[in-house]
Amino acid sequence: MYPTQPPQVPPQGPPQQPFPPQAPAPTPYPTQPPSPSGVPVDYLNQIAPQAPKRPMFTFGIKQLLMIGAALVILVIILAVVVGSITGGKKEPLERLSTRLTATQSVVSAAQPNLKSSELRSLNSNLNLYMTNTNRDIAEPLKAAGITTKNLSKSIVASESTTALSARLEDARLNAVFDRTYAREMAYQLGTLMTLMNQTYKTTSSTSLKTFLKTAYDNLKPTQESFANFNAAD
């Protein structure tokens, strides 16, 4: 008899693992609750009227008034500046015209009081020169927008010959008129020539330069004659 065989035990494999745990389901994103009418809120937001955008610059009445006032002030300042520049260019010519007129009035008034025949002839020629020069200056004045009716009152006042006329009257009463008149007129014509020269240097007008040069050259011999006059009285 065969020996009794021990019962065969089948090999056991590795212990089986239980089913792997399932991954937890992801938490769903919250969704917007439906509106009471059942229409999604996003759709309602899209079709809802949008609030008007506020413009970048808004001006009220007060701001507009302030801007208007600033513009008016700016225009006034510009007008003053332009007027000053223009007036500065006109001033020498206005003064020259005024001085010519004032000087001629003294020349005309002095003629009957002159005793020296030489001085009477010289003064008569000067009076003719003044008449022609006052006539010829009218065109340069017009080109500069100046008329004898709108001359500056301050310039007219500063060119007054009242004090000169008073000195000449005293000289007449003291019987030294010729000597005094020759001296005073030499000085007056000298200032006139200086003003002509200054105006010539500052103006850019060709016609005015021509007038001034002619007037200066014609007056120079007369001024020198008055300066060199020796009265007998």
List the domain boundaries for the chain.
Answer: 91-227
Question: Going by C-beta distance under 8 Å and a sequence separation of 6 or more, which residues neighbour residue 193?
Answer: 216, 219, 220, 223
Q: Are 222 and 188 in contact (CB under 8 A)?
A: no
Q: Helix 177-202 and helix 206-227: axis angle, to 10°?
A: 160
Half-sphere exposure at residue 49, Cβ-oriented, CA atoms within 13 angstroms: 2
d(CA 233, CA 116): 9
Q: Return the structure tokens found at 161.
A: 């010959």
Q: What is the sign, positive or negative, of the torsion defined by CA atoms of 102, 84, 197, 209?
A: negative
Answer with the residue of higher pLDDT: 225 or 10: 225
Mean pLDDT over the full length of the chain: 79
Model confidence over 37-74: pLDDT tens digits? 555 556 556 665 665 665 555 656 776 676 777 666 65
Q: Return the structure tokens found at 233.
A: 């009285």
* CATH code 1.25.40 for 91-227: no
Q: How far is CA 156 from CA 66, 75, 178, 186, 214, in A?
A: 42, 30, 27, 21, 24
Cβ neighbours of 14 (radius 10 Å): 5
**3 torsion bin: left (phi>0), alpha (psi -120 to 50), beta (else):** beta
Answer with the residue of higher pLDDT: 89 or 186: 186
Q: Helix 177-202 and helix 61-110: axis angle, to 10°?
A: 140
Q: Return the structure tokens found at 165.
A: 């006329």
Answer with the residue of higher pLDDT: 3 or 142: 142
What is the arithmetic mean of pLDDT over 196-213? 93
What is the arithmetic mean of pLDDT over 99-118? 96
**What torsion, rounded to 10 degrees, do the Cα atoms 132, 136, 137, 142 define?**
140
pTM greater than 0.85 (yes/no): no
Is the per-residue pLDDT at 75 higher than 80?
no
d(CA 122, CA 81): 46
